[in-house]
Amino acid sequence: MAKYNLKINGKTREVDVDAGTPILWVLRDHLNLVGTKYGCGIAQCGACTIHLNGIAMRSCMLPVSSVGNQEITTIEGLSENADHPVQEAWLEHDVAQCGYCQGGQIMTAAALLKNNPNPSDEDIEATMSGNICRCGTYLRIKEAIKTAAAK
Amino acid sequence: MKTKKKSLDRRSFLKSSALAGGGLMLTFNWFTQAKAAEAMGESLAETWHELTGYIKITPDNVIKILNPNPEFGQNVMTSLPMMVAEELEVDFEKVVVEMGPHDNAKLGPQFTGGSNSVRMYYNILRQAGATARQMLTEAAAQTWGVSADQVIASNGMLTSGNRKATYGEMASKAASMTAPKDVQLKSPSEFKVIRTAQKNVEGKKVVTGKPLFGLDYQAEGMKIAMILHPPAFGMTLKSFDASQALRMPGIKDVFSFKLFDEDFAMAGFDVRTFNEQIAIVGDSTWQVMNARKKIRAEWTERGDARETRMGRGGSQTVTIPGKLESTNYHFDEMEEGRKTAKVQRRDGDPETAFKNAAVVIEKTYNAPFLAHNCMEPMNGFADVREDSAIIAGPHQAPGWIEPTLSKVLGIAPDKIEMISTRMGGGFGRRAYGQYYVEAALISKQAKVPVKLVYSREDDMSYGIYRPMYTATYRAALDENKNLIAFHVSGGGIPESPIHANRFPAGALDNYLAESWEVPSNITIGAFRAPRSNFNAAAEQSFLDEVAEAMGKDPIQMRLDLLKRAKENPVGSNNDYDADRYAGVLELVREKSGWGKPENNGKRRGVAAYFCHNSYAAHVVDMIERDGEPYVEQVTSALDCGIVINPEGAANMVQGAVTDGIGQSFYGTMTFNNGVTDHKNFDTYRMIRHNESPKKIDVHFVENDIAPTGLGEPPFPPVFGAVANALYKTTGKRYYNQPFMNAEQPESI
Ligand code: FES
Ligand code: FES
C-alpha cells in the first residue's frame, strides 16, 4: 500500500492503495466516484473511459502509480450541471437505454470533439468503436456527436 | 366498514381485469389511501399524501409517480409513469418519477420480461391515475360546495368557475377520502401524454454518472465478495487451499459454500450451474480479484446430477448429465436427438403431399449458444442478519427470487427487503437470480454485508446461455409451383425452439411440426425473445428461398399465405392474428419502397415475425464495404398496439435491430470439454459503432389496440432479414449462425 495524491475533477484526492490498483477501482471503491464503469477490465469495452490530461483513456488498465501529476477527469467532472455540449446532445437525442455504457461513450466522444471539432462519420466510427453498447444505441450516439459538433 | 367493503370490491375487480389481460397476477392491493396505509403500519412521509400506491402529492404540489417495474433499459421509468400522468391530468414534464419499492401486494407483479411491462400495467396504472384524479376532484367539490362534475381537473389544477386550487392544496383532503368504485378511463382519442415523445426521465442522471446501478450500490460496513466457480460445466469443487490468498492485503475471508441442498426443489428461475463454489471476501474489488488468483483449488468431474424442480402439477426430478461437453459433441448429439423427434402438430396429410411433390426444398439451420453479456456484469448486495435480510441490486423480477432466498436463508419473505436498482442490461439473464442467492449465502457465512461482483470472465463463463438450436425445414411445391406442404423439425440443447402453432401453421393444408431436446449441463435461459430469436432466423430465411423457388416476391408470398390463414384458416389454435401480421409487411413494403424501380439496385432482405403478442417486419439494405457485408440501412414496421412513448419505443426498436445484426453476424459461445471458448470481449465479438447501420427508420402501425409489448418482437426477424440480404449481397445462402464465421458447417 502506498499513498497517492491524485488530481481528480479539479481537486486533489489522497488515496492509500496498492501501486498496481487500476484507476477504475480507485475511483469506484476508494473515492465513491462510480460514474466510471467496469465492463471488461481489459481495455476492450470503453465503459471505464476517463480523461487523462484531456485524452480519453481506459482506466481499467491504468495503474494508479503511473498517473503522477496528470489531471484526471471523470464523467462526474465533465461539467458542472450536465451542460457539456456532448451531455446536452445526449439528452436531446435521448440516447440511453440501460445507460451503463453511456458515461464511457460520452467521455470518448468529448475527447474526440476536443481534438477534432468537426469529425467525419469515419472519424466518429474509428474513435467510438472501442466503446461497446450492448443495448445498441450506436445510431443515436452518432447523431448526438454530430449535434454536439455543430454547437 | 363501508370503506373496507368498497376497497375489497375494487381489488377483486382489478384482480380479474388484470387476469383477463393475460398477465401473471400475484396478490393485489394496489390502491391504498393514506389512512388505510397507516392502518397497515406504514409510515408515510409527513408532507406526502399518498393517493394511490403509485401517486404521492405534497401540499405545495410536487407530484411524484412511482414506477413499479424494474428498469433495464426498456425505459419503463418513463413509459409507465406516463400512463399514470395521462389519467391524473398532470403535465408529465413536471412530475417526479421514482423507482417504487419492491412490494408485490401494493405495486403489482413487478417483473420485467416477456415484453410485459407496458402490457400488464396499462390498465392498472391508468386506473390508478384516474382514481387519484377523481378523489382530488371530489375533495375540491366538497370544499367548494359544488358537485364533482362542476370541477375540472387539468394540468395539476382544479377549477370550478372562478375557484382554483392546486392538486397539492386538495391532496390532504383527497387522501382521507374513500376511493371511488368506478373510474372512467379516457378513450385513446383523448390522450394528451400517451403517444407523445417523452425523454428518458433518468437521462440526466445517466449522462452525469450518478450512482444508479447495482454495482454502484453502497452500504455501511459493506465488503466486496467474488466467487471462484469450477472452470468447466460438469465440474465441481474437490478441495482448495486459501492460505496464500488469506495473507493478501484486505482479504477477510475465504470459504466454500453450497447454493442448494441436494433435494432442494428449485423454482422456475432458479439455477444450480455450479452448486459448490469458493467465496472470497475483502475490502476492495481489486484486492479480492488478486487474492482470488492465489487460491489453489482442485476441481473434479461432478458426474450425473439430479435436479428437482417445482412445476405445474408437482415437482419433478431429472438427471443432468455430467459429461464435459464440447461443441463438436453438441453437433453430434443434435443428430442423435433428431431421431427422437415428436410430433407437435400435424394438419392434413403432409407425408403424402411430400411424396407427390414436384419439388421438395429442404434446408437445415443452426445457431450457437449465446452469452447475454449485459454491460453491467452480474452482481448483488446482501446484508443477511439472524432473522432479516436486505437484498439489493439489478434483477428483472425480485418477486421470483425472494421465495428462493427465503427458503435458502430460512427467513420469512416479509423479513427480506428487496431493493431494485437500475440494471445495466438484462435481456433475460437477470430473470435468473442465483447471484442473489450467492451474495446472501456469502453475507450469512461471513457475517458482513457484501456486494458480490462478477468479473466479466465470471459473467461470460458462468452463463445462463441462449440454447443451441437446429431446425430442418422442408417445403413441397406442386408442378405449378404452389406450396402444398410444410414441415419443420427442430431441436435444441437443452430446449427445443419449436412453436408449432405459429405462422405458417394455419396457412397450409398439409403441415407438420416436430421437436426434440438434448439434455446438457450447460445452463440456459431466456434470451431476448426466447426461441423466437432462432425461429425467425431459420423460418424467415427458408421462406425467402421457397418464395424464390415459387417465382414470387417474398413479401407477396407471405401476404398470400396470410390471406389464406385469415380467410380459411387450417386448425383453430393458430397463435397469430393474420391481419396484424400482414399489416407490418404492408407497412414495411410501403415505407422501404420495396419493389420500386429506384430501389432495384439495392441488395435487400425482408423478414417478419410474430412473438410476444406483437408483430415486426424489417427490410435490411446491405452493401459490401472493404470486402465485408455491411448493413447500411434498416426500415422497420411494428404493430405493438398503442405506443406509449414514441421516442423510447423507436430507441428500443433501433437497439433491437442493432442487437440482431450483431448477434447474427458475430454472436457465438462454443465449448471445449465444458470450458467456454470465450471469457471476455477480446474474443467474444460484439457489434461495434463501425458495424452498426447509418439509418434505422422505425414505423408503427397506428391503431387503438391496447399495448401488446415491444422489447422482444423487433429482435427475431432481424436475423432472417440479414440472412436474406446476405444472399442478395453475396449470392450465397447463410444457414449457420454466426454468419460471419467461416468455420460453421455447410448446410445440407
Ligand atoms: S472496463 Fe475498461 S475497457 Fe472495459
Ligand atoms: S445503453 Fe445499455 S449498454 Fe449502452
CATH number at residue A38: 3.10.20.30
What residue numbers bound the domain in which A125 lies?
Answer: 85-150
Number of domains observed in the structure of chain A: 2
Residues A15 and A66 in one domain: yes
| Among B296, B279, B281, B285, CA closest to B242 | B296
Rounded Cα gap, residues B96 and B66, in angstroms: 8
Does the distance separating the beta carbons of A45 and B690 come in below 8 Å?
A: no
Instruction: Name the domain boundary from A77, A108, A124.
Output: A77
The answer to whether residue A90 neighbours chain B at the CB level (below 8 Å) is: yes
pLDDT reported for residue B742: 57
Residue B313's pLDDT band (boundaries 50, 70, 90)? confident
Residues A71 and A98 in one domain: no
Q: Amino acid identity of A8?
A: I
Does the distance separating the beta carbons of B686 and A18 come in below 8 Å?
A: no
Residues A89 and A65 in one domain: no
Residue B201 carries which DSSP code?
Answer: T
Conformation bin of residue B257: beta by default, left when phi > 0, alpha when psi is -120 to 50: beta
Q: What is the CA radius of gyration of chain B?
A: 27
Nearest to A136 among B199, B210, B658 (CB): B658
Residues A10 and A67 in one domain: yes
User: Using CB atoms and an 8 Å cut-off, which of residues 32-61 of chain A contact chain B?
Assistant: 32-42, 44-45, 47
pLDDT reported for residue B84: 97
The answer to whether residue A143 neighbours chain B at the CB level (below 8 Å) is: no
Residues A68 and A115 in one domain: no
Instruction: Name the domain boundary from A45, A77, A109.
Output: A77
Query: How confident is the model over B205-223, as a mean pLDDT?
Result: 97
| Among B95, B119, B116, B120, CA closest to B107 | B120
User: Using CB atoms and an 8 Å cut-off, which of residues 170-199 of chain B contact chain A?
Assistant: 199
Task: Find how far residue B241's CA is from the centre of its chain.
Answer: 40
pLDDT reported for residue B36: 34
Conformation bin of residue B47: beta by default, left when phi > 0, alpha when psi is -120 to 50: alpha
CA–CA min distance B452, chain A (Å) = 13
Cell digits for B404?
Answer: 428462493
Instruction: Name the domain boundary from A31, A61, A77.
Output: A77
Does the distance separating the beta carbons of B287 and A100 come in below 8 Å?
A: no
Query: How confident is the model over A66-94, as a mean pLDDT?
Result: 97
The residues with which A5 forms a beta bridge, in sequence order, are A14
Does the distance separating the beta carbons of B689 and A134 come in below 8 Å?
A: no
Residues of B in contact with A93 (CB under 8 A): none
- Taking only the tens place, the pLDDT of each residue in B31-75 is 233 333 333 333 334 578 888 889 999 998 999 999 999 999 999
Query: Prior bond to B713 cis, omega within 30?
Result: no
Residues of A in contact with B693 (CB under 8 A): 139
pTM of the predicted model as reported, rounded to 2 decimal places: 0.93
The answer to whether residue B53 neighbours chain A at the CB level (below 8 Å) is: no
Strand pairing class (B628-639; B614-625): antiparallel
Residues A21 and A45 in one domain: yes
The answer to whether residue B373 neighbours chain A at the CB level (below 8 Å) is: yes
Query: How confident is the model over B252-260, as a mean pLDDT?
Result: 97
Instruction: Give the domains, in start order, of chain B with CATH numbers.
Output: 10-207 (3.30.365.10), 217-307+378-453 (3.30.365.10), 468-730 (3.30.365.10)
Residue of B nearest to A47 (CA): B375
In this structure, which ligand is nearest to the CA of B394? 2
Best probe residue, ligand 1, of A26, A27, A45 (max atoms within 8 Å of C-beta): A45
Residues A62 and A100 in one domain: no
- Taking only the tens place, the pLDDT of each residue in A91-131 is 999 999 999 999 999 999 999 999 999 999 999 999 999 99
Q: Contact B455/B377 with Cβ under 8 angstroms?
A: yes
Strand pairing class (B603-611; B614-625): antiparallel
- Taking only the tens place, the pLDDT of each residue in B413-423 is 999 999 999 99
| Among B548, B525, B541, CA closest to B609 | B541
In this structure, which ligand is nearest to the CA of B426? 2
The answer to whether residue A104 neighbours chain B at the CB level (below 8 Å) is: no
Q: How many CB pairs under 8 A join A and B?
A: 191
Residues A63 and A119 in one domain: no
Does the distance separating the beta carbons of B694 and A121 come in below 8 Å?
A: yes
Residues A33 and A97 in one domain: no
CATH number, domain with residue A131? 1.10.150.120
Only one residue has cell 450425473, namely: B304
| Among A49, A55, A47, CA closest to A114 | A55
